[in-house]
Amino acid sequence: MDVLSLKAAGFLAASVLLLCIPAPRTIRLGLLVIANLAFLALLHPLAPAVFGAVTLLAYAGARVAANAKGGTAKAAVGIFSILIGSLLFVPKLGIFPDGGGHGAPGAGFAANFAKSPAYFAGASYFTLRALQFMFDAKREGKVHFNILETLAWNGFFPTLLAGPIERSQHFTESLDTLGKPCAGDLIDGAWRIYIGLLKKVVLSQIFFTWAQPLVEFEHGVRPTHLEAWTSLYSFGLYFYFDFSGYSDLAIGAARFCGIRLAENFDNPYLRPNISEFWRTWHISLSSWIRDYVFLPMCGKSSSRWRPHAASVGSMVLCGLWHGPTFGWALWGVFHGVALSIHQQWTAWLRKHFRWKQKLTKSKIARAIAMIITFHFLAIAWTWTAYATTGVGTTWRFLLILFGIR
């Protein structure tokens, strides 16, 4: 289902009216679960089953982890994490038969399901939320949600396709107002939906058109030096307006339901370094990676190299979460190395406080840092542009970009 279609608008309106029926909290939660499953079914007939399997596994794993001790809890979380992760990543690897007489009956249907972009967009997000639910239960020794609340939160339909990855703790704060939007919620929700449509329908499409020399490069179109740079900038801006536009739509739709989601973007391209970029770009994902990947990788070791290895490792996993391709892995390496370099730069500034004061107060230094950071980000995006022809195409484009060929 296209989120910009009249069908999607009708679904949102019907869901809001359904949730606003005067009823006890449990009934409203049940109605939200029905709306979530209906939305998933519109994406793909099997999507509700996959969502149900992931969420029930996470709930069972959380219950076991919360009541177990020490190594038993770690083992339980590890086993359930593998089971949940396999439901996301195994189909992405493209190992299903094509159904052309070379596999079991129905293999073609499974293959088409595995290739569905809408399915994977949703699966990626509810899988991360499911893992977070288990990790928090192990760490805190208790489960905050019952099964109905878990299904309502993990499948909250405005967040299924592209986030935000709403934390269960934050979602809890809005459960009492589910289906009870106030006038302020309706006004703010309408404004955020307007902003989201402006970004997705107008601005992202303008920049996508200007990015065509980069997009069509793998099909034999050779851009000029100027066209290459124009398309590079446009490609990065397209990513921002498309992605942040969807977050605005999700936040606005949630406000109509009486739910207040956490913000997901905060002018990330105006940041002077890679660390600040990741604190303001897809905030729900970057904070998830920090809390559940980077910090556990760092551990309590005093090794000076471990944080650098954790930066690269966590960003490579972030890239593979977006897509299990060599291009996305390289994108993760680029970001991980950049974060590692910034760690060293920050450590050096702590030892040279006068330099830190001068650079912090200098508007010129900040402007130069913003320009350098944006160019790094734009160049890094190119590694993800060519899913079919691979990194060789990216390398040839970069040679044209820098006037080498």
What average pLDDT does the chain have?
85
Task: Tell me the pLDDT tens digit for each residue of 18-60.
Answer: 988 888 989 999 999 999 999 988 888 888 888 998 999 999 9
Cα–Cα distance, 65 to 78 (Å, whole number): 10
Q: What is the pTM of this model?
A: 0.87
Model confidence pLDDT, tens digit, residues 109-142: 444 444 554 455 578 888 889 999 999 988 888 8
- Please report, rounded to a whole number, the percentage of residues in the chain having pLDDT higher than 70: 90
State pLDDT tens for residues 221-270: 888 889 999 999 999 999 999 999 999 999 999 999 999 999 999 999 99
CB burial readout 376-401, b (16+ within 10 A) else e: bbbbbbbbbbbeeeeeebbebbbebb
pLDDT in tens, 63-111: 998 888 777 888 888 888 888 877 766 555 554 444 333 344 334 444 4
| 277/264 Cα distance (integer angstroms) | 12
With a cut of 90, say whether residue 279 has pLDDT above it: yes
Separation CA 74–CA 249 (nearest Å): 38
Ranges of each domain in the chain: 6-168, 269-405
